[in-house]
């Protein structure tokens, strides 16, 4: 990221005295929304049966073994 030659034209990102990079809040906001949209889309997918079956089997086995 600290490659001035490569980052030609980059105006939305600045480097502070402490070396940290500070990004335009508006870009941060857009990226933040995109990130949430990406993640929430995945979270919203239905849970495959295989996981419910797996956990039910584990629990049944535990009950059977009398633990």
Partner 1 sequence: MADNRSSVDFRERLIAEIPNLRAFATSLSGSIQSADDLVQDTLLKAWGHADSFVEGTNLRAWLFTILRNTYYSLYRRRGREVQDTDGIYSGSVAVPAGQDSALDLADFRLALAKLPEEQREVLIMVGATGLSYEETAEICGVAVGTIKSRVNRARTKLAELLGMTNSSDIGPDRNSLAVVHHGRVTTLAS
Interaction site with partner 1 (CB under 8 A): 1-4, 7-17, 20-28, 30-45, 47-48, 50-52, 54-56, 58-59, 62-63, 67
Q: Find residue 31's DSSP bridge partners.
A: none
60, two tokens: 């049944």
Q: How far is the CB of 14 from partner 1 (least distance, A)?
A: 5
Residue (of 55, 5, 49, 25) closest to 13 by Cα position: 25
What's the min distance (Å) between Cβ of 64 and partner 1? Answer: 11
Closest approach, Cβ 57 to partner 1, in A, equals 10
- Strand pairing class (21-23; 13-15): antiparallel
């Amino acid at each position: 990221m600290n490659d001035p030659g490569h980052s030609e034209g980059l105006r939305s990102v600045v480097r502070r005295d402490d070396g940290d990079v500070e990004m335009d809040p508006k870009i941060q906001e857009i990226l933040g929304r995109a990130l949430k949209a990406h993640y929430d889309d995945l979270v919203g997918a239905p849970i495959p049966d295989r996981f419910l079956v797996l956990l039910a089997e584990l629990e049944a086995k535990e009950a059977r073994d009398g633990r």
